[in-house]
Structure 1
Amino acid sequence: MERIGRRSHRKSRAGCSECKARHIKCDEGRPACGNCTISSRYCSFLASHSRLPAAGEGSTSSLSPVFLSRQPDASPSPQRYSPTSSSQEFPLPNIEVVNLTHMELFHHFMHSNLFNLPFPYDDSEKWTASVLIIESALSYPFLMNEVLAFSALHLSHIQPSNACLYRHYAIGLQTHALGIFNGEMIKVNRENCMAILIFTWLLTLHTLVETVESAESADTRSLLDPFVHCMQLHLGVRAVKEEAWHMMLESNMGFMLEAVTGLLECVDPGSHTADLKDYIQNSRTLNNDEKLTCIGALDNIQWFLSLVDGTGKQGPPLATPFLSLISWPARINAEFHRLISERTPEALLVLAYYAIPLHLCRNIWIVGNAGQLLFQSIRLHLPGEWHRWLEWPEEIMERIPVSA
């Protein structure tokens, strides 16, 4: 039998070290190649001090990792000046190159309200979400990289003229964050539990923004699968919370968690979703466990609708946009994700109702048009006989004013 020869291909001589080690062709993409980005590997291109066009005429900016990885045992870099006597007593770490854009991202995260979340505390300047997150990020390079990536993502929205540059930083820094996190195989403990929770949470919000942006430039029907994947990332938030909740309450952010938990429990049940709940309860296609799963997910949507109706007498109304982003995806269980993935009509209807709080929070940059796009995508996936259940959410999305 004639042996079939291996198909020839052009070698990538300038490929990253990871692709070379795996004996695969590198696309030489920047800031990280496509193979490493897809497989969440650390790409050696991120360590090279590549030059990127910055804002302004002819200026350049380096996308080298910043605050990225500690190297306490590394040899000191060559110095033009003699070290002081005190520095000779200890080995000096290599210092990563830091540029002005990195400093801009850090400053922006510290002093901008990226989450639209006010705090009802007297010392609001000290107890802001950004300050507490930064305190944790200073000790964990994977979190600092994602913090800067998220800041770059926000800047790409509010400064359209420099969006390309900031998006480049958002991709590169997040890729490096994932490389550090996946490479260290971090186990949750008392010291790092809040850092891991915040990292996982920022990652889900980052993915939501990118998912919505992709759907806006593509077929609306294609949104459902990536949106479901984005929701599944919240299972990581839930897993960390269940494993280390008592340790989190003892951290310096414990008071925030208690405040959010109290607000989630202070709303009286409403009847906005009663008709769909009754229909699911009487479903002939779902078993009892599946019914309970769908009803539980629907009850958490009802919480938001009740809070919107009672903002005059319930907790701080301006906290509702933020809570709407994290409460529902992080509280539903894995069984509901399975039902959505299998396109179970009852579960899709519950997901369509989740488009209501998303739509009402469309003034939050993280959400944008997510509610409207998700609702349209679900309508395209559901057979016509189920569309009657979409009339009420569509009406309510138009009737209730946008949350402030």
Structure 2
Amino acid sequence: MPRRAHKKSRNGCVECKRRHVKCDERRPKCVNCSVSERHCEYLAEPTPTATRAQTEASLTARSSPAVASPAGSVPASTREEDFPSANMLHFELLYHLSTETIPSLELNSEQMKVPASELFRVCVSAPYAMNEALALAALHLAVVSSPEKKDFYKTHAGHLQTKALSMFNAMKPEVNVETGGAILLFSVMLGNHLLSDALVFRDTDFNNFMDKLCQSIHLLRGVRVVASLSFHILVETPLSPMLRYDKMPSDRDGFLGTECQRLLDLITSARLGQSITDCYKDAIENLQLASNSANSDPGFMSKSPIAAWPVRVSDEYFDALRARRPEALIIFAHYAVLLHSIRDSWLFCDSGLFLIESINAFLGPGWEEWMAFPNSVLDTGSAHFST
């Protein structure tokens, strides 16, 4: 009986063979090496006279450190392409991350009590988290730098964020004790990055602006679902203070302040149908919760509930917002009041005022009663929800 042909591929890259993992044989760099940021190399096709022993010997020679080298020769383990030059931009971003970006978010403030060393340890544990951290630092520099450098840092912020997302999607990390912290921190950094990019570096055309903003929120909502699976694991870790703003009261009846209650009354009286009224009611209740939480906690904790609101709202409300339904836009204008309350943050700047003015212009006359509270911010500059 003839021997069955061997179907196992022998054409994988050197690194995958050394690590005994399946290689997809993509050239010039396979997926495994791309994700783990390893040097990817393929052996030359063996000649008919080459033996298995010769091939294995070649692999061993390539993966083993050289003890000595004759003068004038370079060992395979010290080739220049295996050790690329240090990227000075990344060092600049890392320095800015540690000295400016993290302090500006107050993640390691006295109130938060999340040590900077823990944040860096978590970032270093996952390439996607580290790339997003550098992306956020680049975005920060794009906001605060001189005009001639903004585009440079903005471009690199987008490149690093794309790389971080590609790594996250390719790795599909399972949520456990080892990965939970990185997934949570990644989602927090990505969320702030996406919102800031859409709100601060905005298109002046309202429809284009809303398309980009809704696309960013949609992506954020997807990542947030994955991150939420790790919350129960992180309760007893140094990152647990970052979870506080995600706690929801079990009873939300009767807690609406004057502004939110007036908005809900207008929506109820408009007789839009029970389903759409319920989804708007839920969005308004979450808006009040974000305001209450922002007023009760200092620093980063005052910004996080506001940044998290677009993730909390229901799919039905998000669909209505994307469709530019007037009532959904007016609720979003009330959300812009909260954004205006944290305008001192480089993440949001003057985006609250821009949103209120743009929604006014988009809706046109006839909605003055509905827009009374957001428009009061334009008149007085103050932004405060009653509790």
TM-score by length of 2: 0.70
Say whether the 8 Å CA contact 1:145–1:177 is kept in structure 2. Answer: yes
- Alignment correspondent of 2:347: 366
> Which entry has the higher C-alpha Rg, 1 or 2?
2
- Alignment correspondent of 1:103: 91
- Alignment correspondent of 2:134: 148
Q: Which of 116, 123, 140 lines up with 2:105 in the alignment?
A: 116
- Alignment correspondent of 1:247: 233
1:19-168 equivalences in 2 (<5 Å): 69-71=36-38, 75=62, 94-114=82-102, 115-117=104-106, 121=110, 127-128=114-115, 130-160=116-146, 161-168=148-155
- Alignment correspondent of 1:344: 325
Deviation string, structure 1 residues 39-65 (Cα, Å, up to 9, x no partner): xxx9989xxxxxxxxxxxxxxxxxxxx
1:297 deviates by 1.2
* DSSP-derived class of the 2:344 partner: coil
1:96 deviates by 4.3
1:253 deviates by 0.9
- Alignment correspondent of 2:289: 303
1:249 deviates by 1.7
- Alignment partners' CA distance in 2, 1:226 and 1:80: 55
Are positions 1:384 and 2:352 aligned together? Answer: no
Say whether the 8 Å CA contact 1:149–1:169 is kept in structure 2. Answer: yes
1:213 deviates by 4.2
- Alignment correspondent of 1:235: 221
1:305 deviates by 4.1
Q: How many residues align?
A: 325
Say whether the 8 Å CA contact 1:339–1:347 is kept in structure 2. Answer: yes
How big is the alpha-carbon RMSD for the aligned residues of Structure 1 and Structure 2?
4.0
- Alignment correspondent of 1:34: none
Say whether the 8 Å CA contact 1:215–1:373 is kept in structure 2. Answer: no
> Does 351-360 or 131-140 show the bigger shift?
131-140
Are positions 1:200 and 2:167 aligned together? Answer: no
* Residues 175 and 79 of structure 1, relative CA distance in 2, 3 Å threshold: farther
- Alignment correspondent of 2:309: 328
- Alignment partners' CA distance in 2, 1:334 and 1:263: 18
Say whether the 8 Å CA contact 2:329–2:359 is kept in structure 1. Answer: yes
- Alignment partners' CA distance in 1, 2:155 and 2:218: 25
- Alignment partners' CA distance in 1, 2:187 and 2:292: 28
* Residues 262 and 318 of structure 1, relative CA distance in 2, 3 Å threshold: same
Q: Which of 150, 159, 163 lines up with 1:176 in the alignment?
A: 163
1:147 deviates by 1.0
- Alignment partners' CA distance in 1, 2:39 and 2:234: 29
Say whether the 8 Å CA contact 2:183–2:230 is kept in structure 1. Answer: no
* DSSP-derived class of the 1:275 partner: helix
- Alignment partners' CA distance in 1, 2:341 and 2:261: 20
**What amino acid sits opposite 1:362 in the alignment?**
R
Percent identity at matched positions? 26
- Alignment correspondent of 1:38: none
- Alignment correspondent of 2:22: none
Gaps of 5+ in 2: 1-25, 42-61
Q: Which of 259, 274, 294 lines up with 1:272 in the alignment?
A: 259
1:364 deviates by 0.8
* Residues 187 and 262 of structure 1, relative CA distance in 2, 3 Å threshold: closer
* Residues 152 and 231 of structure 1, relative CA distance in 2, 3 Å threshold: same
1:219 deviates by 2.4
Say whether the 8 Å CA contact 1:360–1:397 is kept in structure 2. Answer: no
TM-score by length of 1: 0.68
Say whether the 8 Å CA contact 1:150–1:206 is kept in structure 2. Answer: yes
Say whether the 8 Å CA contact 1:146–1:202 is kept in structure 2. Answer: yes
1:73 deviates by 8.7
* Residues 189 and 139 of structure 1, relative CA distance in 2, 3 Å threshold: same
- Alignment partners' CA distance in 2, 1:370 and 1:122: 27
- Alignment partners' CA distance in 1, 2:27 and 2:249: 41
* Residues 70 and 118 of structure 1, relative CA distance in 2, 3 Å threshold: closer
1:108 deviates by 1.5
- Alignment partners' CA distance in 2, 1:319 and 1:109: 16
- Alignment partners' CA distance in 1, 2:28 and 2:157: 17
1:71 deviates by 2.8
- Alignment partners' CA distance in 2, 1:80 and 1:379: 73
* DSSP-derived class of the 2:85 partner: coil
* Residues 116 and 139 of structure 1, relative CA distance in 2, 3 Å threshold: closer
* Residues 238 and 280 of structure 1, relative CA distance in 2, 3 Å threshold: farther
1:398 deviates by 4.3
1:339 deviates by 1.4
* DSSP-derived class of the 1:247 partner: helix
1:345 deviates by 2.1
* Residues 82 and 354 of structure 1, relative CA distance in 2, 3 Å threshold: farther
Say whether the 8 Å CA contact 1:142–1:181 is kept in structure 2. Answer: yes
* Residues 335 and 221 of structure 1, relative CA distance in 2, 3 Å threshold: closer
* DSSP-derived class of the 1:322 partner: helix
- Alignment correspondent of 1:31: none
- Alignment correspondent of 2:59: none
* Residues 378 and 256 of structure 1, relative CA distance in 2, 3 Å threshold: same
**What amino acid sits opposite 2:209 in the alignment?**
L
1:384 deviates by 3.2
Say whether the 8 Å CA contact 1:141–1:180 is kept in structure 2. Answer: yes
1:173 deviates by 1.9
